């Protein structure tokens, strides 16, 4: 029986179904990468799309002022390379944030198999739709949320992504420096640090003893409540 991806299941189950579907229907090249290694660079010819099987990845765009802009974070089950389809060349750099694994899928083989498999075509379309929705939500947060709320919303998103993949969400290790978080959220490093300190003072998060990148989140819903309070306070002022 052919594998399908059921949108009614949990995110973790859906990701498992997607990976199984890809294995069943396409030749896959597994690639293990380490922190700092590039999957592809902006301007490279599009030959493959990639699916994250393990680890954390970021996508980076070069800005007009010469500085790199962090534009996306990617977890298990996410696709890399959709931005290169329109012009046949990748529009950004994709870089590993820790040791992980990506599955490389030839784009021409994917197109051919999608023509034969409605289930695969639906899975690819769903992945594209989720990426568009995620980009929209990130832009809305960037444009509408005050600084503290933006950081809290970022942490909530990271925790949610871990939970959706069956991983612990109450204790997380940020694979980013404060400067990288600020780059991603459109904030200065000092503003990120102050926001994290306020979250810690409010006991919404707690820094683990090992280092400032290790965070405990006792209750993810408290992050949502913090965002709502920050938005309400900003509206009053």
Architecture of 145-236 per CATH? Orthogonal Bundle (1.10)
The pairing of strands 57-62 and 171-173 is: unpaired
Does pLDDT of 64 surpass 70? no
What confidence tens digit (pLDDT) does each residue in 203-237 have?
Answer: 999 987 655 678 999 999 999 999 998 888 777 76
What confidence tens digit (pLDDT) does each residue in 158-211 have?
Answer: 999 999 999 888 988 888 899 999 999 999 999 999 999 999 999 999 987 655
Residue 1: per-residue pLDDT: 47
pLDDT band for 7, please (50, 70, 90 cuts): low
What confidence tens digit (pLDDT) does each residue in 70-121 have?
Answer: 999 999 999 999 999 999 999 999 999 999 999 999 999 999 999 999 999 9
Q: List b or e across 166-178, with b for residues whose CB sees 16 or more CB atoms inside 10 angstroms.
A: eeebeebebbbeb
Architecture of 11-140 per CATH? Sandwich (2.60)
Taking each helix axis from N to C terminus, what angle separates 118-144 and 147-164, rounded to the nearest 10 degrees? Answer: 160
SS3 40: strand
Mean pLDDT of all residues belonging to the chain: 91
Domain boundaries, the chain: 11-140, 145-236
């Amino acid at each position: 029986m052919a594998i399908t991806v059921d949108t009614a299941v949990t995110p973790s189950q859906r990701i498992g179904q997607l990976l199984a579907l890809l294995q069943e229907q396409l030749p896959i090249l597994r690639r293990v990468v380490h922190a700092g290694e590039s999957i592809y660079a902006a301007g490279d010819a599009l030959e493959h799309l990639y699916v994250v099987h393990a680890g954390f990845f970021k996508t980076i765009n070069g800005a007009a002022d010469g500085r790199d802009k962090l534009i996306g974070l990617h977890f298990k089950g996410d696709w890399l390379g959709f931005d290169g389809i329109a012009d046949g060349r990748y529009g950004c750099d994709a870089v590993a944030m820790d040791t992980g694994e990506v599955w490389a899928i030839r784009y021409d083989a994917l197109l051919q198999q999608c023509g034969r498999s409605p289930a695969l075509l639906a899975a690819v379309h769903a992945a594209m739709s989720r990426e568009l929705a995620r980009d929209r939500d990130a832009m809305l947060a960037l444009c509408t949320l005050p600084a503290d709320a933006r950081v809290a919303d970022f942490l909530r998103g990271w925790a949610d992504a871990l939970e959706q993949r069956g991983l612990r969400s109450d204790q997380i290790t940020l694979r980013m420096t404060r400067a990288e978080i600020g780059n991603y959220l459109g904030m200065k490093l000092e503003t990120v640090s102050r926001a994290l300190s306020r979250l810690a003072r409010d006991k919404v998060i707690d820094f683990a003893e090992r280092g400032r990148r290790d965070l405990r989140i006792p209750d993810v819903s408290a992050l949502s409540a913090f965002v709502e309070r920050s938005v309400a306070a900003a509206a009053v002022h």
